[in-house]
């Protein structure tokens, strides 16, 4: 299913301005221990499938790379990620015009949960479509 969304949204993802290295990098989330969740491009491909989707933009914040999502009737949301070679780690969440950085391990776990909820929504919504 993810490969279908990736193929469908490939040109939009390529137009965001991320490098190929960033797009192919694994995104690691923290759920007691760090685990690879997806590549950045796989995750971004799912964001285009959120209900009431309007836009997706690349952002740069401090030394982080990130993206923000606009859904109709909602303020901007999104995530900033810290790059370490070909690995990306969640560093903060975007809420409106603010970036809220994770400070504690508990913050990072909450951030990981929010990150997973966006993609899980899309995957679950499309799981039972013919």
Using an 8 Å Cβ cutoff, are 94 and 77 in contact?
yes
What pLDDT digit, counting tens, does each position of 5-36 carry?
999 999 999 999 999 999 999 999 999 899 99
For the entire predicted model, the pTM comes to: 0.92
Would the pLDDT of 127 be above 60? Answer: yes
Residue 125 has a pLDDT of 83
Mean pLDDT of 45-57: 96
Q: Which domain holds residue 19?
A: 2-127
As for how many domains the chain has, the answer is 1
So what's the pLDDT on residue 128? 57
Structural contact between residues 52 and 83, judged by C-beta atoms closer than 8 angstroms: no
Mean pLDDT over residues 80-105, rounded? Answer: 95
């Amino acid at each position: 299913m993810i490969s279908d969304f990736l193929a469908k949204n490939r040109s939009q993802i390529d137009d965001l301005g991320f490098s190929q290295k960033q797009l192919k990098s694994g995104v690691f989330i923290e759920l007691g221990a760090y685990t690879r969740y997806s590549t950045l491009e796989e995750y971004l491909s799912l964001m285009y499938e959120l209900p009431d989707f309007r836009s997706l933009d690349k952002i740069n914040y401090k030394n982080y790379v990130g993206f923000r999502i606009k859904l109709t009737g909602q303020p901007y949301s999104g995530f900033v990620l810290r790059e370490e070679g070909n690995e990306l780690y969640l560093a903060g969440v975007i809420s409106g015009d603010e970036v809220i950085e994770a400070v504690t391990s508990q913050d990072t776990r909450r951030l990981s949960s929010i990150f997973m909820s966006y993609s899980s929504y899309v995957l679950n919504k499309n799981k039972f479509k013919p």
